[in-house]
Every structure is written in C-alpha cells, then in structure tokens.
Amino acid sequence: MGRRGPRPTPTAELERRGTLKKSRRADEPEVAAGVPPKPDGLGEHGAALWDELAEPLAAAGVLTPLDGKALQLACRDWEEYHEHLTTLDEEGRILESKTGSKYQHPAEGMKNRALDRLRRWLIEFGLTPSSRSNVTATTPQKATGSLLKIHDECKV
C-alpha cells in the first residue's frame, strides 16, 4: 500500500519556515544541483524534451545528478505520447469491427496513460502552475522565470 497523507514538506522549506526538527531528518541525504548525463536510447521527442528541461531545471536547483532516471522516464513518456499520436493520426481514433460496431483505437487509451504519467513527472519537477509552489530548489538562488518559460514552451 502506498504512503498515506500529504507528501512530506521539503527540508529546505521547513528550514525557511523555522519549523525543522533536525532529529526527524538527520539521515536525509544532501545532493548538489547539477545536470545528469543524457541517457542513450531516447527518441527524437524524448531527447528534445531532455535538452529543453535538463539545463534550466539544474540551474533552478530542482534537478540533481541523482534525478537522471526520473527525467529519463518523463522523456520516455513524452516519446511514447508522440508515438501514439502518430499512430492515431495515421489510423484514426475510431475503428470499426468486422461486425460494423465502432470502438476507440487502443492507442487512444495508451496515449492518455502516457500523458497521465508525464503529467505526474512534470508535477514532481514543479513544471505545472499548481506544483511550482511545492518545489524547493537545492541551491539558495531563486528561479528567474525559467520554469515558467519551460512550461509555456512545453505543449503537453
């Protein structure tokens, strides 16, 4: 069963508020911001998303070298989303069975699931308007609007 209740408040946010109880967070690792190496095997759209997000997220203090797999999964979901869009453009969203009944193309559901997974990754990195306030950078600098620019350019 998953974790219950709201997500834990980031340690940096608790420090800023003055409510941090260090005994409860003593074993939490500290990781400096930085760009993880770009993984091999990303398709055209996935690689483009990596190039678009990695540097600005690291500069904002949101991305660390340990977050490479999470960003890679987001890029793969973006790639999968585009693959299903291509299939739907070629074959149509509604198919007809041998008996003449119409049904939704299976790629429509797969596209929607890939988009849902991508949306969850975007939330993790603070790339949606409501999630942006919940992300705390690992560096003391504040983002200078780069996250807003990324979100506006990323047409999901």
- Vertex 86 angle, CA 68 and 76, to 5°: 10
Cα(67)–Cα(3) distance, integer angstroms: 21
As beta bridge partners, residue 146 has: none
The pLDDT value given to residue 135 = 66
Domain assignment present for 146 = yes
Domain assignment present for 7 = no
Cα(61)–Cα(97) distance, integer angstroms: 52
Domain assignment present for 96 = yes
Cα(138)–Cα(29) distance, integer angstroms: 12
Q: How many domains does the chain have?
A: 1
Domain assignment present for 107 = yes
As beta bridge partners, residue 102 has: 96
Domain assignment present for 51 = yes
Query: φ and ψ at 94, to 5 degrees?
Result: -115, 130
* Cβ partners under 8 Å of residue 13, min gap 6: 136
Mean pLDDT across the chain, nearest whole number? 81
Question: Could you read off the pLDDT of 12-70 as tens digits, one per residue?
Answer: 667 777 777 767 666 666 777 789 999 999 999 999 999 999 998 888 878 889 899 99
CA quadruple 12, 14, 18, 22: dihedral, nearest 10: -90
The radius of gyration computed from the CA coordinates of the chain, to the nearest angstrom, equals 19
Domain assignment present for 55 = yes
Residue 92 has pLDDT above 90, yes or no: yes
Domain assignment present for 27 = no
CA 88 to chain centre: 24
pTM of the model: 0.71
Domain assignment present for 56 = yes
The pLDDT value given to residue 145 = 47
CB atoms within 10 A of CB 69: 10
Q: Which domain holds residue 133?
A: 41-153
Cα(46)–Cα(53) distance, integer angstroms: 11
DSSP state of 110: H
